[in-house]
Amino acid sequence: MRYLKYLYFIGFANVLIVTQKVIQFNPIKNWLKIGIFRTAFKLAYMKYKFLFLVLSISLLACSKGGDTPAPTPKPPVVTEPSLTATNGVVIDIDPGVTNIYAVVGTSQKIEVKLAAIPASGVTIDTKLIKIADNTTAFSNSISSTSLTTPITVSGLVPGVLYNLSVVVTSKTTASNTKTIEFKMAAK
């Protein structure tokens, strides 16, 4: 009876009882199985430790802890070319303030030349005024984005003295303007 209890105790752990046959306990086989199991378990456990270590390091390496974002660059300041600068606006037939430009016929073609043009262009207002009675003989207003703009002044009467006024104004900045005036007469 003691023997059966002992076998029962051992059999519960390491002995297989099949249809009342007792298979002998083989300690070497069992220890090999247990050793392989323990080694496999340790390897798997170490694999998870290694995986946990790698993930921890990678998460710490990717953290945005004290990083500051790159500063946004300031947009460049675009300065508009000045129309009042020397030779900013030139009229090809301008005789100067004290001289009179002589016109042959009843119309005259002029060219308004700009040294540099503002980004949105300019407005060119041309006005021909009779000096004797201060009436307007010709008026024209055009928009331009070109450095050279041709304008034909018409309505000239021979023997009458006129004052031609050309006002060039930037479309972007109203204060960026230049006025050129000179006298002209038709022969």
Alpha carbons 154 and 163: distance in angstroms, whole number = 13
pLDDT of residue 130: 96
The pLDDT tens digits for 66-93 are 567 778 888 888 788 999 988 999 999 9
Contact 187, 166 (CB under 8 A): no
C-alpha pair distances (Å), 104 with each of 62, 100, 131, 143: 83, 13, 19, 28
Q: Is the dihedral of CA 84, 88, 91, 94 positive or negative?
A: positive
CB contact at 8 A, 129 and 165: yes
Rounded mean pLDDT of the chain?
80
Report the pLDDT value the prediction gives residue 41, as an integer from 0 to 100.
62
* End-to-end Cα separation, the chain, in angstroms: 152
* pLDDT exceeds 50 at position 184: yes
Tokens matching residue 46 = 């170490």
pLDDT at 135 over 70: yes
Q: Which CATH class is domain 89-186?
A: mainly beta
Least confident of 60-74, 141-155, 164-178: 60-74
Per-residue model confidence as pLDDT tens digits over 34-68:
666 566 666 666 777 777 778 777 777 765 555 67
Hey, is 60 helix, strand or coil? helix
Q: What number is the average pLDDT over the span 142-166?
A: 95
pLDDT tens, position by position, 6-41 = 444 444 444 444 444 445 556 656 655 566 656 666
Cβ atoms of residues 107 and 151 within 8 Å: no
Q: How far apart are CA 20 and CA 23, in angstroms?
A: 10
- The domain segmentation of the chain, as residue ranges, is 2-59, 89-186
So what's the pLDDT on residue 59? 72
* Amino acid 153: pLDDT: 95
